[in-house]
Amino acid sequence: MAGTGNVGGAIAQGLKNKGHAVTLGAHDPSTPDLIALASRAGAAVATPPEAASIAEIIMLALPWNVADAAGALLGDLSGRIVVDCMNPLGRTPDGLALTLGHTNPGGEFVQGRVRGAHVVKTLNHVGADMMADNAGLQHRPVMFMAGNEDAAKNALSQLLTDLGFDPMDASDITKSRLLEQLGLGWINQALFCAKGSVAVKVGFEPTVRFPVHTLSKRAP
**For 29-57, b where at least 16 C-beta lie within 10 A, e where not — what string?**
beeeebeebbeebebebbbbebbbbebeb
Minimum distance from CB of 19 to ligand NAP (Å)? Answer: 24
Is 23 an interacting residue with respect to ligand NAP (CB under 6 A)?
no
Minimum distance from CB of 81 to ligand NAP (Å)? Answer: 17
Is 196 an interacting residue with respect to ligand NAP (CB under 6 A)?
no
Is 127 an interacting residue with respect to ligand NAP (CB under 6 A)?
yes
Site for ligand NAP in 48-77 (CB under 6 A): 48, 61-64, 66, 73
Report strand pairing: 95-98 vs 142-147.
unpaired
Query: Is the four-CA dihedral 170, 124, 118, 14 of positive or negative sign?
Result: negative
Give the residue with the Cβ less far from ligand NAP, 68 or 150: 68
Stretch that binds ligand NAP, among 81-89, 97-105, 143-151, 204-212 (CB under 6 A): 81-89
> In the complex, which residues of this chain contact ligand NAP (CB under 6 A)?
3-8, 26-27, 48, 61-64, 66, 73, 85-87, 89, 124, 127-128
